[in-house]
Structure 1
Amino acid sequence: MKEARSAIALQAGREAILAAARIEFAKSGFHGTKMRDIAQRAGVSQGLLHHHFQGKEGLWSAVGEQASAEFLTYVSNVVGQETLDADSVPSAIRTYLRYWREHPDAFRINLWRLLDGPTDERKSRSLSLNERAVPLIKRAQHSGLLRADMPAGLVLCVAGSLVQFWLHSRIEMQDAIEIGGEKMPDDETFIRHIMQLIQSSPASEPSGKDG
Structure 2
Amino acid sequence: MPELRRVYTTVDARDRILEAALTVFSDVGFAGATMRAIADAAEVSSGLIHHHFKDKESLWKLVGERISAEFQEAVSVGTELDDPALSLRRAIENYQRYWREHPRALRFQLWRVLGAPIEERKARSKLLNQHFVPKFTTAQEAGIVRNDIPAGLAMVTAGGLIQYFLHSDIETEDAIAVTGDAPLDDDQVLDYLLGLIAPARATGKKDTP
TM (normalized to structure 2)? 0.87
Residue-by-residue CA offset, 1:93-117 (whole Å, 9 max, x unaligned): 1111111111111111111111121
1:202 equivalent in alignment to 2:201: yes
Q: Which stretches in structure 2 are left out of the alignment for 5+ residues?
A: 1-7
Q: Which stretches in structure 1 are left out of the alignment for 5+ residues?
A: 1-6, 206-211
Tell me the number of residue pairs that the alignment of Structure 1 and Structure 2 aligns.
197
2:201 is paired with a residue whose SS is coil
1:73 Cα deviation from its structure 2 partner: 1.8
In the other structure, the counterpart of 2:3 is none
Residue-by-residue CA offset, 1:149-206 (whole Å, 9 max, x unaligned): 000000001001110110011111111111123221211111111111101133789x
Distance 2:173 2:130 in 1: 33
Distance change in 2, residues 1:92/1:189 (3 Å): same
In the other structure, the counterpart of 1:3 is none
Say what the alpha-carbon RMSD is for the aligned residues.
Answer: 2.0
Q: Comparing both structures, which one devotes a greater share of its residues to helix? A: 1
Distance 1:169 1:20 in 2: 25
In the other structure, the counterpart of 1:182 is 181
* Residue range with higher mean Cα deviation, 132-141 or 186-195: 186-195
* Residue range with higher mean Cα deviation, 174-183 or 81-90: 81-90
1:143 equivalent in alignment to 2:136: no
Counterpart contact for 2:26–2:108, Cα < 8 Å: yes
In the other structure, the counterpart of 1:96 is 95
1:19 Cα deviation from its structure 2 partner: 1.6
In the other structure, the counterpart of 2:24 is 24
1:76 equivalent in alignment to 2:76: yes
Q: Which amino acid aligns with 2:55?
A: G
In the other structure, the counterpart of 1:34 is 34
Instruction: Give the percent of matched residue pairs that are identical in Structure 1 and Structure 2.
Output: 46
Residue-by-residue CA offset, 1:60-93 (whole Å, 9 max, x unaligned): 00111111121122122255x2634322222211
Q: State the structure with more CA Rg.
A: 1
In the other structure, the counterpart of 2:167 is 168
Distance 1:23 1:114 in 2: 17
Distance change in 2, residues 1:191/1:82 (3 Å): closer
Distance 1:118 1:36 in 2: 19
Counterpart contact for 1:84–1:140, Cα < 8 Å: no
Counterpart contact for 2:77–2:94, Cα < 8 Å: no
Counterpart contact for 1:134–1:152, Cα < 8 Å: yes
Distance 1:157 1:73 in 2: 18
Larger RCO: Structure 1 or Structure 2 (Cα < 8 Å, ≥ 6 residues apart)? Answer: 1
Distance 1:19 1:188 in 2: 31
In the other structure, the counterpart of 1:50 is 50
1:109 equivalent in alignment to 2:108: yes
Counterpart contact for 2:158–2:193, Cα < 8 Å: yes
1:12 is paired with a residue whose SS is coil
* Residue range with higher mean Cα deviation, 150-159 or 47-56: 47-56
TM (normalized to structure 1)? 0.86
Distance 2:9 2:92 in 1: 40
Counterpart contact for 1:21–1:59, Cα < 8 Å: yes
